[in-house]
A and B are shown apart, each in its own frame.
Chain A
Amino acid sequence: MTESRDIVYRPRGRISGLRAGAHASRGIGTFGTFRDQVPFMAHPDARRIDVRGTLRDPFEATLVRRFQQRNAIDVYALVDMTRSLSYEGRARKQDLVAELCGALARSVIRSGDRFALIGFDSDIRPDCFIPPNRRLGSAVDVEALLRQAEWRGRDAKGLHDAARRLGGRRKIVFVVSDFLLPLDLLEAGCEALSQHDLIPVVIDDSSERSDLPDWGLLELTDLETLQRKVVFMRPALKRRWLAQEAERRAGIRRILLRFGRAPVLITDVIDVDLISRQLMEA
């Protein structure tokens, strides 16, 4: 919680909302950045009469300046609570998730938006649910809740249910997961979230790829299915493994790009600036 810099995020396009906030909105009002001039009757706001414009107008109509409003948006974090997130490589993925959500909650609330957390595994996790709010203290709550939570899910089928909960106005939805899930499930989840601004966050660990040994016997256990697998590592297999992994990631990326943005990659540590940059580039 010593991190003072904020994660910078921005919804795509213009949002619509009621509460004043930091994001460009479709709403036209009295505050914000200058948009256009209209006749007084179209926007009868005497405080914003454009005196120079009115004098210059050949038709002697009274002109009013209109401004683009800035509104607040709700930011939801959908957190994958399956057991595969308890993987420990360079770091524990669940700690990364907790830290990320804490930082995100703090940033969101400080920029005047509301933050909500929904945990899901094979269903929605009622113990990991924080409704949208703007309490600054809730960032601490989010992080504490996620640090104590049990990551025990066997599959991520609850993504769809969680997505269905987010009705109404457009929201920014961070889906935080390791994305080790079936592609059709991911696609269905993205479908359900398509009215929102989806930002996938892939929690990653370098030990899963760059640290693979060249030689030796690995005994792997699947955290979710508890399936065991012995792998005899050798350079050729390592190449095949990495190629297949790259292919899988490319497939996930293709799906995500179809529904919104390229995923934000988090590897080993939470680097706020790096996350912000990725969010801006996406």
Chain B
Amino acid sequence: MNLAVDRPWVLLALVLAMLPLMFSAHRETRVGSVSVVPADPLSTLIAWTLRGSAVAAIALVVAALAGPYRVGQIVSRAGEGAQVVILLDRSGSMNDTFAGRTPAGGEESKALATKRLLRDFVGRRPHDLFGVAAFSTSPMLVLPPTDHHDAVRAAIDASDRPGLDFTNMARGLGMALSMFAADHPDEHHAILLVSDGGAVIETHLQDQLRAEFRKFKADLFFLFLRTAGSRGMFDKPGPGEDTPRAMPERFLNLFFQTLGVPYRAFQAENPDQVADAIDQIDELERFPITYVERLPRRDLTGLAYALACVFTVVLVAGKLLEVRLVTGAGAAKAPVGATA
């Protein structure tokens, strides 16, 4: 714990914490000799407890007044699994059902089904690092890789807002790759691309992507949400149809196979198949990973006050237990040092 304070000069008042060692909060009973009291370990313990509590209470209040905080720091953590970047297609067609219609009644849109299943997926893998990116006309960085799964789930929740028109998959992939660190060979990277349509990737971009994938060594999982009636990734092309424009999904699949990285494609036509695909990905990605996380500055004032309060309660209890040998006339006295 790296501790620091906002107002160091207040700490000068810590000298006051020495006071309980010299003075007592209790009203004294002056006796001829304390040697008449039998030795009693419990009393000694209580005496030191009260004294220590008083010191601690004063010190903690002073510390709280000085405004303590734990400085922000960089922590290295270890996890098991992989660094997964979920790359979501946010184009307008994701808002339709698997049947290609606008959702009505009890049907759920592709985006909603994906969201539900991905949430489970994130919940099942506690040690993974998840990043979320989305793409439509241009890529969007939603969440850098983190193990705070609440944040990941929130990012996924946000992904079913109505999307935009176009599908610029190449830039999305570039964005997803850029979220990995290239200089950590021990990390295991995976990109889970969720999309419902093929997109044409230009030839010069294809070369760039190949280079990038080699550099970042990311596995690629392509979850293709096929809309009923549209062409699938694995359909045999008819005569004259074997062009990227006519069958973008097929050519996308072919291009991914040339990337030189582990690649699995899943074609899902309903929510159950999506779930199966996600289970398979779950099986595949189990590797040890280390990652670095920045912790923000944390204010400790409240904690200091709470602890001071605990010690003060101890002191108050001691005060409430206080009794005196003599009550009445003999009790009011001048200080001991008044004579001498």
B36 touches A245 (CB 8 A): yes
User: Which residues of chain B are within 8 angstroms of A85 by Cβ–Cβ distance?
Assistant: 32
Interface size for chain B: under 10, 10 to 19, 20 to 34, or 35 or more residues? Answer: 20 to 34
- Which of B36, B325, B330 has a CB less than 8 Å from the CB of A218? B325
With beta carbons under 8 angstroms apart, the residue of B31, B38, B46, B333 that contacts A220 is B31
Judge whether B324 is part of the interface by a CB distance below 8 angstroms. yes
B26 within 8 A of A: yes
Q: Which of A151, A219, A223 contacts B322 (CB 8 A)?
A: A219
**A223-B336 CB under 8 A given contacts A217-B318, A228-B24:** yes
Measured between alpha carbons, how far is A92 from B334 in the docked complex, in Å? 13
Q: Which of A152, A217, A241, A248 contacts B340 (CB 8 A)?
A: A152
Contacts of B26 in A (CB 8 A): 217, 219, 230
Q: Establish whether residues B29 and A84, one from each chain, have CB atoms under 8 Å apart when the complex forms.
A: no
Find chain A residues with CB under 8 A from B28 CB: 219-221, 228
Q: Is A74 an interface residue (CB 8 A)?
A: no
Contacting A223 at CB < 8 Å: which of B32, B40, B42, B318? B32
Q: B318 CB to closest chain A CB, in angstroms?
A: 6
Q: Does B78 contact A (CB under 8 A)?
A: no
The answer to whether B29 and A220 touch across the interface, beta carbons within 8 angstroms, is yes
Whether the pair A216, B330 counts as a contact (CB closer than 8 A) is: no
Please report the C-alpha to C-alpha distance between residue A225 and residue B35 in the assembled complex, in whole angstroms.
Answer: 11
* B15: Cβ under 8 A from any A Cβ: no
Alpha-carbon gap, A227 to B37, bound state (A): 12
Q: Does B12 contact A (CB under 8 A)?
A: no
| Chain A hits for B50, CB < 8 A | 230
Q: Does B326 contact A (CB under 8 A)?
A: yes
Q: How far is the CA of A206 from the CA of B339 in the complex (A)?
A: 25
A84 to B33, CA, bound (A): 7
Q: Does B339 lie within 8 Å of A180, measured CB to CB? A: no
B203 within 8 Å of A by Cβ? no
Contacts A222-B33, A229-B37, A240-B38: A86 and B43 contacting too (C-beta < 8 A)? Answer: no
Cβ of B46: which chain A residues have Cβ within 8 Å of it?
A: 217, 230, 232
Kindly identify which residue among B31, B322, B326 contacts A221, using a CB–CB cutoff of 8 Å: B31
B47 within 8 Å of A (CB atoms): yes
Interface size on A, residues (CB 8 A): 46
* Chain A residues, CB < 8 A from B33: 84, 180, 222-224
Least CB distance from B133 to A in Å reads: 66
How many Å lie between the Cα of A179 and that of B267 in the bound state?
102
Q: Does B34 contact A (CB under 8 A)?
A: yes
Which chain A residue has the least Cβ–Cβ distance from B319?
Answer: A217
Q: Does A127 contact B (CB under 8 A)?
A: no
| A22-65 at interface with B (beta carbon < 8 Å) | none
Query: Within 8 Å of chain A (Cβ to Cβ): is B4?
Result: no
Q: Is the CB of A90 within 8 A of B330?
A: yes
Chain A residues, Cβ within 8 Å of B36: 180, 208, 241, 244-245, 248
A227 proximity list for chain B (CB < 8 A): 34
A197 at the interface (CB under 8 A from B): no
CB of B139 to closest CB in A, whole Å: 70
* B323-A218 in contact (CB<8A): yes
Measured CB to CB, the closest approach of chain B to A147, in angstroms, equals: 14
For the complex of A and B, 6 pairs with smallest distance between CB atoms: A216-B323, A84-B32, A230-B47, A88-B330, A219-B26, A180-B33
List 18 A-B residue pairs with CB atoms under 8 Å apart, sorted by A's residue number.
Answer: A84-B33, A88-B326, A92-B330, A207-B326, A207-B330, A208-B36, A208-B325, A218-B322, A219-B24, A219-B29, A220-B28, A222-B31, A222-B35, A223-B30, A229-B47, A232-B43, A241-B37, A244-B36
